[in-house]
Structure 1
Amino acid sequence: MPVTTPAHQPPQIVKANGIDICYETFGDANAEPLLLIMGLGAQMVVWDDEFCEQLAARGFRVIRFDNRDIGKSGRLSGGGPLRPLELLKLRFLKIPLAAPYKLSDMAQDTIGLMKVLGIQSAHIVGASMGGMIAQEIAISYPQAVRSLTSIMSTTGNPKLPAPSRAAMALLMAPPPKSRDEYIQRFAQTWKFLRAGSFPEDEARDGALAARTFERGLNPAGVGRQMRAILASGSRKERLASVKAPTLVIHGTVDPLVHPEGGRDTAASIPGAKLMMIERMGHALPIPMWPQIIDAIDAHAHQAAAKAA
C-alpha cells in the first residue's frame, strides 16, 4: 500500500495579537488541530518536518509557528542582555527581573494565531519554554485547550533544582559571530542537550543549523525570551485550576530543565499523567519519536473521545 504524505502548506505570516507570526501546517485542514509551541530561542523548524508529518498522519492538523522574537515572526525591542547581578538579585533577594513581555503575552500570541486560523480550541503541545507557554494557555484560556502536553518543561517553582552550571554557561554564552561558528555551536549545543550519543540526529544538525541561520537569527530576541521566562514567576499554584486532560513528558537525564520540573508539573495539575523517558535529555531524539508520537496521539485522541 503506497504511503501518502499529509498535505503540507508552505509557511505564511499573519498578524496575531498585534505581531507578525510565521506559521506552517501539515495534514488535513479539517482534522483535529494540534499546535506545537517551541522553546527558548528555537525556531519552529526544530519541530522536525518528519515529526510533524508523522503526527499529521495520525489524524491531526499540525500547526507549528515561530514564537515572537524568533525566526520569521515579529521582533520586539528593549530588554538588554541579562546580567549575572540581575540573576543573583532574582534568586536570592527575590527582586523581580525587568522584561519587555512575559510568557502570558506569548500565550496571547498563540490564542491570536488560533483566532486568525478560525480555531476555537486545539490540542496544545509545548516543549521547554513552549511547555510553559502551553501551561499559561491552559490556565488563562481553558476553553481553547482540548488537551495539554507539556514536554521537558517546568512550573517555574523556585524550589526546584536549577539548570546545571554547564547548561547555564551554554545559555549565557555570547552569540556566534559567523555562519560557520553558528553551525558549529548549534551542533555542540544539541549534542549537550541530548545528553547522549544519537548519530542519526547529529547527522542532521548541520542542515538544520544552516536552515535556521538562513531563516534569520535574533540574539537580542532570545535574551528577551529568557527574561520573559524569569520574569513570569511560578505557575505552580495556578496550575491547580487546569481542567484540560494533561500529559507531562520528561527525560530522565535532562541537563537543562531538571527531571523534577516534569514531576512538579504533573503533581501540580489535577489528573495529569507523567511519562518519564529513559535516556532522554533536553531534546526529542529520532529514536524516541515513536514513543513520544504514540503518547501525544493516544492522549489527544482519548481527550477528543471523552469530549465527544
Structure 2
Amino acid sequence: MKARANGIELEYESFGDPADPTILLIMGLGAQLTLWPLPLIEALVARGFRVVRYDNRDVGLSTKLDRAGRPRLGLMMMQRLLRMQPRVAYTLGDMAADAIGLLDYLKVRQAHIVGASMGGMIAQLVAATYPDRTLSLTSIMSTTGNPALPRATREAMDVLINRLKTTDIDALVAHGIRAAQVTGSPAYPVAPDLLATRIRETIERSTYPDGFARQMAAIIADGDRRRRLQAIKAPTVVIHGAADPLVPVEGGRDTASSIPGARLVELPGMGHNLPVELVPQIVAAIESVARP
C-alpha cells in the first residue's frame, strides 16, 4: 500500500486492528520493510497492537530521489572531521518527518515508535522532535552519533560499505549471504539455504544502491545526537546485542545513558540483526514501555 506523506510516497503494510494502539516500525540503512520478522509482528499483534512497517524514502518501493545524485561519502566524512556541515539531499530529521507524515496519513495521533539501526536513529529523532506524537520509544541496535564510541569491526564495515557494482542477482545474493553472516548473531545462525532465499526475495523486490548512499550521507550529516536525546520524555527502552560487530554494544549503552529514564536491555549472542529466537525478549522489551 502507498501513503502520500511529507511530499513523497511511502510503501507500508499494516497488521492487526486499526482500533488498537499503533506500533510504528522503522527499518535501518538501505533495508526494506521486509527485514522486520513476521514472527515479531505477529507476536505484537497477538498482544493487542496494530503494527505498521514501511520502506523509508530511497529504499524498497517508496519514492526514490534520483535527481539528488550520488553523494561523495569520503568527502562528507572528511568534512565532518573538520567540523564542517556536509550538504545532503535530505536529513535524518526529514526521515523522522516522513514517519510523522505516515501517521498523519493513517490518521494515527500517537504511536509507539520502534526503530532498528538507522531506524533507531530516526525513531530517536521522532521522540525528541515530536513528543506529542510519541507514546513510547524502542531503539534497537542503534547509537547516538557520539564520535568517541568504538567503531564497527573492519570486516563488518567492509561488507556494509563495499557493495558490488553489478546487477547479477547470483553475485548480489552471494555478497548478501556473506554480509549477513559477518554482521549477524553468532549465537543464532541462519541456515545458508534459508538465508539465500530471503536475500534473493529482498533483491528481487528492490535493489537501489544510490538510495543506500544518500541514507548513509544523512547519517554522517546528523552527527552527535546526545544533546537532542536529553529532551526525550517518552518511556524508552534500548535493545542491543552484546555481539554486534557493526554497531558495538557501547552505542546502545550511550543511547540509554543519554535519554532520561531509559532502560537498557543487552542480549547475549545477538549481532546486528533480529533473530527469530529472540522475538520473545524483544517483544517483552517493547511491551515494557508500551504498557509500563
Report the TM range for the smaller structure's normalisation: over 0.9
Asked whether 1:208 is paired with 2:198, we answer: yes
Asked whether 1:183 is paired with 2:173, we answer: yes
Match of 2:25 among 17, 36, 57: 36
Contact 2:76 2:220 (C-alpha < 8 Å) held by counterparts: no
Match of 2:209 among 198, 206, 219: 219
Contact 2:14 2:50 (C-alpha < 8 Å) held by counterparts: yes
Asked whether 1:291 is paired with 2:270, we answer: no
CA drift at 1:297: 2.0
Match of 2:111 among 119, 122, 125: 122
Counterpart residue type for residue 200 of structure 2: A
Contact 1:201 1:286 (C-alpha < 8 Å) held by counterparts: no
Higher mean displacement: 247-256 or 208-217 = 208-217
Moved runs in structure 1, 4+ residues, more than 6 A?
none
Asked whether 1:276 is paired with 2:274, we answer: no
Asked whether 1:101 is paired with 2:97, we answer: no
Secondary structure, in 3 states, of the residue corresponding to 1:217?
coil
Which residue is 1:20 aligned to? 9
Name structure 1 gaps, 5 residues minimum. 1-11, 303-308
The structure showing larger relative contact order (alpha-carbon pairs under 8 Å, at least 6 residues apart) is 2
CA drift at 1:211: 1.8
CA drift at 1:291: 1.1
CA offset digits 1:202-230 (Å, max 9, x no partner): 44322221221222111000000000000
Asked whether 1:259 is paired with 2:249, we answer: yes
Counterpart residue type for residue 190 of structure 1: A
CA offset digits 1:260-302 (Å, max 9, x no partner): 1101110011100011111111111122111111221232111
Higher mean displacement: 203-212 or 232-241 = 203-212
CA distance in structure 2 between the partners assigned to 1:183 and 1:97 by the alignment: 33
Asked whether 1:138 is paired with 2:153, we answer: no
CA offset digits 1:81-112 (Å, max 9, x no partner): 44434423423x22333311010000000000
Which residue is 2:36 aligned to? 47
CA distance in structure 2 between the partners assigned to 1:162 and 1:131 by the alignment: 17
Match of 1:68 among 57, 66, 77: 57
CA distance in structure 2 between the partners assigned to 1:255 and 1:65 by the alignment: 26
CA distance in structure 1 between the partners assigned to 2:153 and 2:76 by the alignment: 18
Contact 1:200 1:286 (C-alpha < 8 Å) held by counterparts: no
Counterpart residue type for residue 73 of structure 1: S
CA drift at 1:195: 4.2
Asked whether 1:244 is paired with 2:234, we answer: yes
CA distance in structure 2 between the partners assigned to 1:18 and 1:275 by the alignment: 36
CA distance in structure 1 between the partners assigned to 2:271 and 2:255 by the alignment: 17
CA offset digits 1:2-35 (Å, max 9, x no partner): xxxxxxxxxx011100111000011112111000
Counterpart residue type for residue 149 of structure 1: T
How many residue pairs are counted as aligned between the two chains? 290
Which residue is 2:102 aligned to? 113
Q: In 2 relative to 1, CA 82–208 (structure 1 residues): closer, same or farther, beyond 3 Å?
A: farther
Which residue is 1:173 aligned to? 162
Identical amino acids, percent of aligned pairs: 47
CA distance in structure 1 between the partners assigned to 2:74 and 2:176 by the alignment: 23
